[in-house]
Chains A and B, each alone.
Chain A
């Protein structure tokens, strides 16, 4: 990666780290434990659908999704080319990592917009 875009990716990485540390444990506990184990009542489809009705809530959701993805992409890029010693493929790895994050973000934006 060229030096001049590195701060950009790092900002997204940093923001993604902060936001996912804040929200993902809560979401995983609710969706992964509380609901399956019956600690809380299973919310109805309409109820959940209603929560994401306002545009502002969907924007927050998009921020959580996209920043977490960019956090992953940055980490994974370094894990691949340092951890697995794939220096020769430095640029391809960067394009694949950030590219897949961008693709998923584009898809998420599209779905949330056409909610």
Chain B
């Protein structure tokens, strides 16, 4: 086994007016290293100017997503060993503006997330009730969607988001579903407006790459399809029974 491997890392430093480029780093190959370990090695021993995001190193914080050999992955969960003999190409997440090196600008995602009100909305609050119990079945309805760690890999994988940046996108719709399907929530119609406009769920053409790359098996593509069925039902109901209350 070779004891070294080459990483080709995307570099972009707007402060010294340099053009984006790739820089090669030769690093020792350790079987138990993930890509993030390799980047940390570079930062600590070879080149301290390299910028990237990470925090938990255990697939929880969702901040270490990058393109590795053109696929969006969590770099703390992708083993170097699987990419032998290299070289391994590391780039910032696709479809996002780059701030510096491997750091992307996630404001667009956060803006969109806010628009779907990702919290439990209650029509009325009864202060006398201290807790709202849920059965395991009620929890199972939305649990999968609550596993999202906002890593945005699905946005990088989504060709529609790449072509139409205004598209609300996979994770945000899945997160809206997480609250819509929670039996404590009454915000369905409040979210529907944001999700059924021109940039909402109808943009999705069910390519399904978001679900393939999701490290948490959230299945955003499935969430969007379920939401489309719900949106279409609501539309027909409003047409045929306009007097019925929107639920």
Q: Which residues of A line the B interface, CB within 8 A? A: 1-4, 6-8, 10-11, 14, 78, 82, 85
Q: Which residues of B contact A78 (CB under 8 A)?
A: 205
Q: Is the CB of B231 within 8 A of A7?
A: yes
Encode contact with A along B151-165: 1 for CB under 8 Å, 0 otherwise: 000000001100110
Question: What 8 new A-B contacts, CB under 8 Å, besides A2-B198, A3-B198, A7-B202?
Answer: A4-B235, A6-B196, A8-B235, A10-B232, A14-B228, A82-B160, A82-B205, A85-B163
B197 contact from A3, A10, A11, A85, Cβ within 8 A: A3
B192 to chain A, nearest CB (A): 11
B234 to chain A, nearest CB (A): 8
Q: Which residues of B contact A85 (CB under 8 A)?
A: 163
Complex-state Cα separation, A14 to B163, whole angstroms: 23
Complex-state Cα separation, A73 to B124, whole angstroms: 44
**Which label, helix, strand, loop or mixed, suits the secondary structure of the A interface?**
helix
B196 contact from A1, A3, A11, Cβ within 8 A: A3
Q: Is the CB of A10 within 8 A of B163?
A: no
Q: Does B132 contact A (CB under 8 A)?
A: no
Complex-state Cα separation, A66 to B218, whole angstroms: 35
Q: Is the CB of B200 within 8 A of A11?
A: no
B229 to chain A, nearest CB (A): 8
Q: Which residues of B contact A2 (CB under 8 A)?
A: 198
- Chain B residue at minimum C-beta to C-beta distance from A74: B205
Complex-state Cα separation, A85 to B229, whole angstroms: 27
Given A11-B236, A82-B163, decide whether A3 and B228 contact each other with a Cβ distance below 8 A: no
Given A11-B232, A14-B232, decide whether A6 and B202 contact each other with a Cβ distance below 8 A: yes
- Chain B residue at minimum C-beta to C-beta distance from A7: B235
Q: Can you list 20 contacts pairing A with B, beta carbon distance less than 8 Å? A: A2-B198, A3-B197, A3-B202, A4-B235, A6-B196, A7-B196, A7-B202, A7-B231, A7-B232, A7-B234, A7-B236, A8-B235, A10-B202, A10-B228, A10-B231, A10-B232, A11-B236, A82-B159, A82-B164, A85-B163
Q: Which residues of B contact A1 (CB under 8 A)?
A: 198
Q: Which residues of A contact B197 (CB under 8 A)?
A: 3
Q: Which residues of B contact A6 (CB under 8 A)?
A: 196, 202
- Chain A residue at minimum C-beta to C-beta distance from B202: A6
B151 to chain A, nearest CB (A): 25
Q: Which residues of A contact B198 (CB under 8 A)?
A: 1-3
| Chain B residues numbered 194-216 whose CB sits less than 8 Å from any CB in chain A | 196-198, 200, 202, 205
Q: Which residues of A contact B202 (CB under 8 A)?
A: 3, 6-7, 10
Q: Which residues of A contact B232 (CB under 8 A)?
A: 7-8, 10-11, 14
Complex-state Cα separation, A4 to B164, whole angstroms: 19
